[in-house]
């Protein structure tokens, strides 16, 4: 089986590579990234590599060639920065996704799997679980959610135009792994040193009460991708681990005694101000995502894929805290891992 992974050097990409390498059915694994990693380092050493900028005008042709003979294409390519330049991110996130879909159809790929997100969903309830039929209108204050919602429409159109191609979309919660610590710090903290977390934990954490969301370890998302490839299972799948994270649970995992409630608007204003002044690179839309996305049911993934997360959400969160503290990165990755 020949599998091509687009965006194979990032947080999700490295976990997916590892899982594909563990599957004896995968005889040929191709990684596509904007920057070539150290091909002698794990997990990159088990793949053949091609460097393609998926948002470039020539990307569709290059991707079509790269996809030739593939049994499945897994699309994980995404840009989270520069957050002050939405046009640049759109080039990768939306134009890049369109190029991947066009190339997959042109190359005759029978199965396309894509990483969507809980952020694609319209605001929803925190007190009950929603399934994959919940509207995917995104959250208008977040460029990340807007781009995910636009891509969901592209996936709808792709399914209508190519009924012979199986399309699988995964909508995971926040995805963590220790090896992404350096990458996450660069993307969301501007590279601020977090080594102090090795020695000191804050006594309290200020968080809005609405910060209730789901998380998942990257390895469990990679496993879901493999199960869908193996079964050639199409459609949408929510992917998240238990328990649901709330402010007090987040504080406990981080090592604080408790979470101190703050007003959502105050938190958003502080994040907006520091982002606007370029003190840190995280726009306030991420606060809205955590505060307004619905809580997902993962029943379909369990029933159709036989999938069960092996890492709890609290352990997944603890892994990224450790990664931040130790500035952990996947060996041989680029400056931001993707």
Residue 333 pLDDT level (bands cut at 50, 70, 90): very low
Residue 74 pLDDT level (bands cut at 50, 70, 90): very high
Say what the pLDDT of residue 109 is: 98
DSSP for residue 336: T
Residue 117 pLDDT level (bands cut at 50, 70, 90): very high
Kindly give, in sequence order, each residue whose CB lies less than 8 Å from that of residue 67, ignoring residues fewer than 6 positions away: 4, 73, 103, 104, 106, 107, 109
Task: Phi first, then psi: give them for residue 70, nearest 5 degrees.
Answer: -75, 135
Average pLDDT over residues 229-234: 98
Say what the pLDDT of residue 56 is: 97
Handedness of CA 222, 223, 229, 233 (dihedral sign): negative
What's the rounded Cα separation, in Å, for the pair 212 and 125?
10
Structure pTM? 0.95
Average pLDDT over residues 150-161: 98
Say what the pLDDT of residue 198 is: 87
The span from the first CA to the last CA of the chain, in angstroms, equals: 25
Q: Is the pLDDT of residue 337 over 60?
A: no
What's the rounded Cα separation, in Å, for the pair 96 and 103?
11
Residue 37 pLDDT level (bands cut at 50, 70, 90): very high
Say what the pLDDT of residue 331 is: 59
Q: Is the pLDDT of residue 166 over 90?
A: yes
Per-residue pLDDT of 235-278, as tens digits, reads 999 999 999 999 999 999 999 999 999 999 999 999 999 999 99
Question: Which CATH architecture is the domain 2-179+215-240+296-312 placed in?
Answer: 3-Layer(aba) Sandwich (3.40)
**HEC secondary structure over 289-309:** HHHHCCEECCHHHHHHHCCCC
What's the rounded Cα separation, in Å, for the pair 15 and 302?
20
DSSP for residue 213: B
Answer yes or no: are the C-beta atoms of 300 and 131 closer than 8 Å: yes
What's the rounded Cα separation, in Å, for the pair 226 and 170?
12
- Give the three-state DSSP class for 76: coil
Domain chopping of the chain, boundaries: 2-179+215-240+296-312
Average pLDDT, the chain: 95
Say what the pLDDT of residue 332 is: 47
Residue 30 pLDDT level (bands cut at 50, 70, 90): very high
- Give the three-state DSSP class for 61: helix
Residue 104 pLDDT level (bands cut at 50, 70, 90): very high
């Amino acid at each position: 089986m020949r599998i091509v992974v687009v965006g194979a050097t990032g947080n999700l990409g490295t976990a997916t590579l590892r899982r594909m390498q563990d599957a004896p059915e995968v005889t040929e694994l191709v990684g596509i990234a904007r920057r070539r990693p150290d091909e002698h380092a794990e997990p990159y050493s088990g793949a053949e590599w091609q460097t393609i900028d998926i948002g470039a005008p020539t990307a569709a042709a290059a991707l079509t060639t790269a996809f030739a003979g593939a049994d499945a294409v897994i699309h994980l390519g995404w840009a989270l920065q520069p957050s002050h330049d939405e046009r640049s991110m759109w080039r990768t996130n939306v134009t890049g996704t369109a190029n991947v879909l066009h190339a997959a159809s042109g190359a005759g790929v029978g199965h396309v799997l894509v990483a969507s997100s809980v952020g694609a969903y319209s605001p929803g309830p925190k007190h009950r679980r929603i399934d994959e039929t919940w509207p995917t209108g995104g959250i208008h204050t977040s460029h990340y959610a807007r781009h995910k919602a636009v891509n969901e429409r592209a996936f709808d159109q792709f399914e209508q135009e190519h009924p012979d191609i199986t399309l699988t979309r995964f909508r995971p919660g926040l995805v963590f792994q220790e090896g992404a610590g350096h990458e996450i710090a660069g993307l969301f903290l501007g590279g601020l040193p977090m080594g102090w977390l090795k020695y000191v934990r804050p006594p309290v954490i200020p968080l809005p009460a609405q910060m209730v969301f789901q998380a998942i370890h990257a390895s469990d998302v990679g496993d879901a991708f493999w199960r869908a490839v193996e079964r050639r299972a199409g459609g949408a799948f929510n992917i998240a681990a238990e328990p649901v994270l709330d402010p007090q649970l987040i504080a406990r995992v981080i090592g604080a005694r408790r979470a101190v409630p703050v007003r959502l608007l105050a938190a958003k204003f502080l994040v907006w101000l520091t982002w606007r002044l370029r003190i840190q690179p995280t726009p306030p839309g991420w606060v809205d995502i955590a505060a307004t996305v619905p809580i997902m049911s993962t029943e379909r993934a369990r029933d159709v894929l036989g999938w069960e997360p092996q890492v709890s959400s609290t352990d997944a969160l603890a892994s990224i805290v450790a990664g931040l503290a130790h500035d952990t990165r996947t060996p041989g990755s680029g400056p931001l891992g993707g």
